[in-house]
Amino acid sequence: MKKYLLITIFVLSQFSLYAIDIPGKVTEVKKNGEVQITFDNELIPHAGDKVQLSYTKEGGELITLEGFWIVEDVKNNTLRAKPETKLFLKPQAGYIARIISPEAEEVLPTLENADELVKKGDEYFYGTGNGVDIFEAFNMYMKAAEQGNVRGIQKVGSLYMTGSGVELDYDKALEYLRLAVTHEDPPALNDLGVMYESGFGVPKDMKKAMDFYKRAAEKGNRQGEYNMGRLYENGVEMPQDYALALEWYTKAADKDLVQAQAALGFMYEKGLGTPPDYKIAVKWYQKAADGGDPIAQSNLGHLYTKGLGVPYDDAEAVKWFRKSSEQGNAWGEYNLGVMYEKGRGIPQDYAEALKLYQKAADKGLALAQNNLAHLYEKGLGTAVDLTKAFEYYKKSADAGNATAQSNLGVMYERGQGVPPSDEEALKWYQKSAAKDDINGLYNLGRMFESGKGMAADKNAAINYYKRAAERGSEEAKLALQRLGEQN
């Protein structure tokens, strides 16, 4: 495994000046402990400089030998060094060398060089220079890593983890990230958390993931803070605690992490860990939406459709739904589809609604699947297609959508797009009614009244009609009147 050493500036007690670490590698070891070290660096060490030797254990832990070796002489890119004392642990070829030189004036050019490489890599990665070029970004980061720059090492590991600018390679990702973690690098700690949470190149281990996230978060890493908030919100490997989730999200949101700002908006909208506050929810959604977060854009649009924390404004809602949908967000696509179907804030256009529902449905969004089925059933924006209507009602119903479960029951009862089956209709009405869906309750009442798929039961029918009527079903109210019941 190729090993890299972090170049750092630090103060040694016996030196009045700053010292520079020059990375090197042990290539030969003599019986008396004398070592030969090669180094590839523009900085040249001097006789009398000190050397520390280290090696990497399996798992990435960096172990440093006690004591120093003293440089005897330097020729080209090779030096000889002897142990400072007679008591030492004998090193081996391949060990990492830190050559400590008190020539402080020589440090800045090398540090600037490595940092500049990382800076250029960021420009290529984020497109802040001459456009996005992930491959060139990787090359810049790798050059910085080869100089021992910890940020370069972490960036290389991160790109190997995601397969960005380089072939996906979890083993190499782990190698680089573990090396960066030996320096307690916060972004690397978070990245390792991601690998353990997702099972990338390692067995999935949420406890280890949480440990890495926490270490990153405690060092102020905003991604680590966000991930800690996410784990507390969802109760992963810890008791669910909305108050702590809110605390961690706030820390990350204050550092302008848009995902955290979106999550914080949701917490205030739903009153999780705090009393509901739509104005504060809008504040955080707005920040995240302006930062390009598609979830926040969709959620902000939703608040405009309800007039919660903002004035009621369908046109403004359409604007934010469109921004979200243009990024391929399923909720943005679905919500924009609803606006087209209803003609809210935009001219009614069933064909456009159909396209948007299809996109969201293909991403597995059950609400979109139900609405798409409805358009096929009624022939809105397309020819009537009961087979497709049944297909998408079934997908949505299987995903647990109560409205779709009731609609699927109707398809079975009428034999639309599927052979008629009162038994199947009854099954799906029961699933829908169990979720207190207004149509599921009414339809189940009908089945009990008529005795379709079961023995007739007037009392049960009245019970379901009453529950549907309480939720506003006019059909159920009429049914109760017909049966001589007051609703």
Task: Give the lowest-confidence range in 42-46, 150-154, 235-239, 346-350.
Answer: 42-46
pLDDT tens digits for 258-269?
A: 999 999 999 999
From 184, 251, 246, 256, select the one nearest 215 (Cα to Cα): 184
With 60 as the cut, is the pLDDT of residue 25 above it? yes
**What tokens does 146 get?**
């080869």
> According to the model, what pLDDT value does residue 43 have?
64
Residue 54's pLDDT band (cuts 50, 70, 90)? confident
Token look-up 């004392």 returns: 85
The predicted model gives 146-153 an average pLDDT of: 91
Please say whether the beta carbons of 50 and 69 come within 8 A. Answer: yes
From 345, 325, 396, select the one nearest 366 (Cα to Cα): 396
With 50 as the cut, is the pLDDT of residue 105 above it? no
Long-range own/partner contacts, residues 335-339 (CB < 8 A, 24 or more apart): 335/298, 335/301, 335/302, 335/305, 337/368, 337/371, 338/371, 339/314
pLDDT tens digits for 286-306?
A: 999 999 999 999 999 999 999
Q: 432 by DSSP, 3-state: which?
A: helix
With 70 as the cut, is the pLDDT of residue 40 above it? no
List for the chain the helix, strand, coil content (%; round to 5): 55, 10, 35
Token look-up 């972090």 returns: 6
Q: Round the average pLDDT of the chain to a whole number and report it.
A: 89
Query: Which residues are CB-neighbours of 387 under 8 A, at least 6 positions away?
Result: 417
> According to the model, what pLDDT value does residue 97 have?
77
Please say whether the beta carbons of 400 and 428 come within 8 A. Answer: no
Set out the domains of the chain in order of their start, with CATH numbers.
9-102 (2.40.10.170), 110-236 (1.25.40.10), 391-487 (1.25.40.10)
Strand partners, 96: 25, 54
Q: What is the DSSP letter of 104?
A: G
> According to the model, what pLDDT value does residue 427 have?
97
State the pTM of this model: 0.74
> According to the model, what pLDDT value does residue 74 have?
85
pLDDT tens digits for 380-432?
A: 999 999 999 999 999 999 999 999 999 999 999 999 999 999 999 999 999 99
- Calculate the alpha carbon distances from 108 to 20, 42, 114, 298, 333 in Å: 9, 12, 10, 47, 51
d(CA 94, CA 55): 8
Q: Between 479 and 86, where is the model more confident?
A: 479
Query: How many CB atoms lie under 10 A from the CB of residue 344?
Result: 14
pLDDT tens digits for 343-382?
A: 999 999 999 999 999 999 999 999 999 999 999 999 999 9
From 378, 334, 325, select the one nearest 357 (Cα to Cα): 334
The predicted model gives 237-249 an average pLDDT of: 95
